[in-house]
Structure 1
Amino acid sequence: MEPLDCSATELLAAFRDATFTPTDYAEALVAHIQAWEPHINALYAFDETTLLEGAALSTERWRRGAPHGPLDGIPVTVKELIATEGTPIPQGTVVTELTPAPTDAPPSARLREDRALIFAKTTCPDFGMMSSGVSTFHGLTRNPWRLDTNPGGSSSGAGAAAAAGLGPLHVGTDIGGSVRLPAAWCGLVGFKPTLGRIPIDPCYTGRCAGPMTRSVEDAALMMATLARSDRRDPTRLPPSTIDWRDLSIDLRGLTLGVMLDAGCGMTVEPQILAAVEAAAAAFERAGAKLVPVAPVMTRAMLDGLDNFWRARQWKTLMALSAAERERVFPMITQWAARGAELSAVDAVHGFEQTFAMRRSTEAAFDAVDAILSPTTPLYSFPAEYGHPSNDPEHPFEHLGFTLPWNMGEQPALSINAGFSHDGLPIGVQLVGPRFEDQRVLQLAYALEQWRGPIRHWPTPPSR
């Protein structure tokens, strides 16, 4: 097996039995990055020297049979918005003052504690507020599956990097679908855990960090590291005793809700509906009982939160000069401008929709153990678009299946369930009740086993 074909789980086994070393993998990875990056633009602050030096030290530890952590020598990226000590956080926009971060955010700190090699950050759009790979700071990030298509966002670089094989482990953030949407469009596993399961700083309503990987096993591997407590996040969950490596599940007697309608927004493309129905049938064959479930989202909820987010973004833009605002990606300023016209009552009413979503999502599990749905209503959109709709007045029409679970705090995961007629990935979403993160991973692992491994990942255009 070639090093670049290995998952993180397989790499650790190879390091352990000396099939190859962290240095072997890191050297191959550097060449692979150099072949891909001119085409996809997924990385920020790529540090080749630190990667190779860290791999050499890890190689020596493995040769002595004394690795210093469960991820010793495994290269990993973290999203630009997640602080790493000494690296500025531009927030995807050219108007941010580039001040080095004083310390690692919780996900970065946990990865370093376990001796993972953070070798790069990954790109995101301006202020992380678009489901797209466009950014005034980073430029345009493209989807490796087809370069004229969008990887999604706001964890755009993480999605593109994972699909292109720029390392096995990547961390994104998700406040409305920003891990799961690029996972769907890039053919990955993208896991948004229960709010507080992975401590994050700064924290915010619905904001989670989560793994973006090519396999469920690697996502579970990351959870064992990322889910450790950190007091900087006041929403953190108590320390757990979850054995993240246990991915087995008995599906007999499990009631699986199947949600095919988001309740508002874009119409779901037929190929995506077919993928969800095929996945549901596989669970039924394994012993699960299927139950149709109604949408948890409404137009009032989506529009209300849209208003609140406009007001919140306008507050950020008002701190800039007029000249600086002109430099922000235009779709952001066009969308946020209406925030200046909203009354305080409008803004509060919008924020209150988060509680409406919380009630709706919690009630959805009254009669089911988990829910299966599309991740997104469409499987592709042009690379240059700021949103799938490309409409600054209606930018969130694709969030009906993902956004409510952020506000409700439930764990939700996107996994590739097949490919469209033109060869692009199709993601389906699995959702569990709050705190049932392991169940969601186990359901995804079962689906992954039935689907089989993806054997035709994208290769650099120059090959």
Structure 2
Amino acid sequence: MVVNARLYDLSAQELGRAYRERSLSPVEVVQAVLAHIARWEPHLHATYLLRPDAALEQARASQARWQRGEARGPLDGVPVTIKENIATRGDPMPSGTAAVELRAAAADAPPAARLREAGAVIVSKTTMPDYGMLSSGLSSFHTLARNPWDLRKTPGGSSAGAGAAAAAGYGPLHIGTDIGGSLRLPAAWCGIFTLKPSLGRIPIDPPYMGRAAGPMTRTVLDAALMMQVLAQPDARDSMSLPAQDIAWGSAEVAVDRLRGVRIGLLLDAGCGLAVEPEIRAAVAQAARLFEQAGTIVEPMQPFMSQAMLDGMDHLWRMRSLTDLNALPPAQRARVLPYILQWAESAAAFSGEHVFRAFSQFHATRAATVAACAKYDYVISPVSPNMPAPAEDPSPTNDPLRPLEHIGFTVPYNMSEQPAASINCGYSEGGLPIGLQIAGQRFDDLGVLQIARAFELIRGPQRAWPEPPTV
């Protein structure tokens, strides 16, 4: 039986057990989550389309299923949030920008469809920056999202609201997207867990090179629970992986899972910002914990280059400029000025320049696969820097140096490998520090298992942040 007045802090696993035992009901849990969101939300601004009445209606339907013995599975009645660029039927999808003409989505995108089919209670959508192209919560459409650990700081992005919501306790389950670090950066800066899965493991719509959806949770096992539901083929994603019987429940492992595992330790991305000393120290300590548990840890040389990072940046600038040029002038003027300046800098690029920029995507893929080939897993910082001020669009605050913080994360989008972020320590100022764990392509379960083993050896974690009292 669960005895806990803080129902919003319970994991999805705990809620599932409580529902089965009839010691809690989905209605009382969703009521507690909504009340907690009401205390936090004036400070965080993590939600979009927060509709308490709709959430409670879903909770009542779930409660009736549990009472009839017809629950749809382990997520039935569990509160969840969905990033706003994952379509939900009947809802507009602004993609973080005031420039988009709002239209109701005709259907749930695959992740939303799977969660709804599983009976999860969709409490809210979560916010993101313009077009998902910033590692912050700054948006021309949404109110500025903030980090619950320090309201002066960014939660990261582009899954900004999802990262903040998970850390603040807006229920146990959240889903975001990632094309260069948009799951892992907010996870690192908000102290939560996420898995950017192998490309196609969680189908999305529309699909795009390197783009993945993934769970954002407080615990590894809750993420594994979500994978049971989310990792199903969907024909709308041309890169959807075929059906595979993966024992996601075996993410629960003992520490001896680490014995003999070969781990590469990467402390220099080879491009972008230098790693801050506190982050380097936390990741080095994580490596020592892995060694003490029986892994073989070997330092790695950087495999990324500034040319690779710049090439991807320049291609994305041209893609964004093309999209912006298709907008009527009045709509284009509503785009965040930082995004406009970034995209418009591509106007002078020649065709040859754009081709050479595009070629860096494959160069990054090849270099990443080759560098990881001799290891079972690679660990590194998620980000070289601690979170920037909330108002800054990016850590450099410079639209011509916008991606200097994604040198550790973006390679695994291009190589299609799974990569997780898990908290591995805290800065002197009390902010979380993320450890990235990357695995071989398709080894999503292995990454979850290694992350779970690290969760067991990393030591006590600090209490989750609480909403301000004034």
Length-normalised TM-score, structure 2: 0.97
Match of 2:406 in 1: 399
8 Å contact from structure 1 (residues 205, 407) kept in 2: yes
Question: For 1:84-233, what aligned pairs fall within 5 Å after superposition?
Answer: 84-233=88-237
2:347 is the alignment partner of 1:340 = yes
Sequence identity percentage: 55
Match of 1:294 in 2: 301
Match of 2:320 in 1: 313
Q: Which runs of 5+ in 2 are unaligned?
A: none
Q: Which runs of 5+ in 1 are unaligned?
A: none
8 Å contact from structure 1 (residues 312, 339) kept in 2: no
User: What amino acid is aligned across from residue 184 of structure 2 in structure 1?
Assistant: R
Match of 1:39 in 2: 43
User: What amino acid is aligned across from residue 162 of structure 2 in structure 1?
Assistant: A
8 Å contact from structure 2 (residues 9, 171) kept in 1: no
8 Å contact from structure 2 (residues 258, 453) kept in 1: no
CA distance in 2, matches of 1:194, 1:164: 27
8 Å contact from structure 2 (residues 266, 379) kept in 1: yes
User: What amino acid is aligned across from residue 70 of structure 1 in structure 2?
Assistant: P
Match of 1:449 in 2: 456
CA distance in 2, matches of 1:367, 1:52: 50
Q: Deviations over 1:99-141 (max 9, x none)?
A: 0000000000110111111121100001111111000100200
Length-normalised TM-score, structure 1: 0.98
User: What amino acid is aligned across from residue 258 of structure 1 in structure 2?
Assistant: L
Match of 1:373 in 2: 380
Match of 1:440 in 2: 447
1:322 Cα offset (Å): 2.8
Partner secondary structure for residue 147 of structure 2? coil
Runs of 4+ in 1 over 3 A off after TM superposition: 452-455
User: What amino acid is aligned across from residue 319 of structure 2 in structure 1?
Assistant: R
8 Å contact from structure 1 (residues 266, 398) kept in 2: yes
Match of 2:18 in 1: 14
Which of the numbers 395, 399, 422 marks the counterpart of 1:388? Answer: 395
User: What amino acid is aligned across from residue 371 of structure 1 in structure 2?
Assistant: V
1:450 Cα offset (Å): 1.3
Partner secondary structure for residue 121 of structure 1? strand
Match of 1:419 in 2: 426
Partner secondary structure for residue 194 of structure 1? coil
1:296 Cα offset (Å): 2.3
Partner secondary structure for residue 449 of structure 1? helix
CA distance in 1, matches of 2:51, 2:329: 35
CA distance in 2, matches of 1:391, 1:411: 29
CA distance in 1, matches of 2:74, 2:433: 32
Partner secondary structure for residue 58 of structure 2? helix
2:415 is the alignment partner of 1:408 = yes
8 Å contact from structure 1 (residues 216, 445) kept in 2: yes
8 Å contact from structure 2 (residues 95, 129) kept in 1: yes
8 Å contact from structure 1 (residues 69, 113) kept in 2: no
CA distance in 2, matches of 1:156, 1:366: 32
Q: How many residues align?
A: 463
8 Å contact from structure 1 (residues 32, 166) kept in 2: yes
8 Å contact from structure 2 (residues 168, 465) kept in 1: yes
Match of 2:338 in 1: 331
CA distance in 2, matches of 1:10, 1:117: 16
2:271 is the alignment partner of 1:264 = yes
8 Å contact from structure 2 (residues 308, 361) kept in 1: yes
1:45 Cα offset (Å): 0.5
Q: Deviations over 1:322-352 (max 9, x none)?
A: 3322221110011111211111221121111
CA distance in 1, matches of 2:203, 2:331: 32
The answer to which of 140-149 and 3-12 deviates more is 3-12
CA distance in 2, matches of 1:323, 1:455: 47
CA distance in 2, matches of 1:23, 1:453: 32
User: In the superposition, relative to structure 1, how do residues 91 and 462 fare at CA in structure 2: closer, same or farther (>3 Å)?
Assistant: same
1:365 Cα offset (Å): 2.2
8 Å contact from structure 2 (residues 257, 453) kept in 1: no
CA distance in 2, matches of 1:462, 1:89: 33
2:312 is the alignment partner of 1:275 = no
Match of 1:460 in 2: 467
RMSD over equivalenced CA pairs, Å: 1.1
CA distance in 2, matches of 1:378, 1:17: 45
Partner secondary structure for residue 58 of structure 1? helix
1:453 Cα offset (Å): 5.5
1:240 Cα offset (Å): 1.0
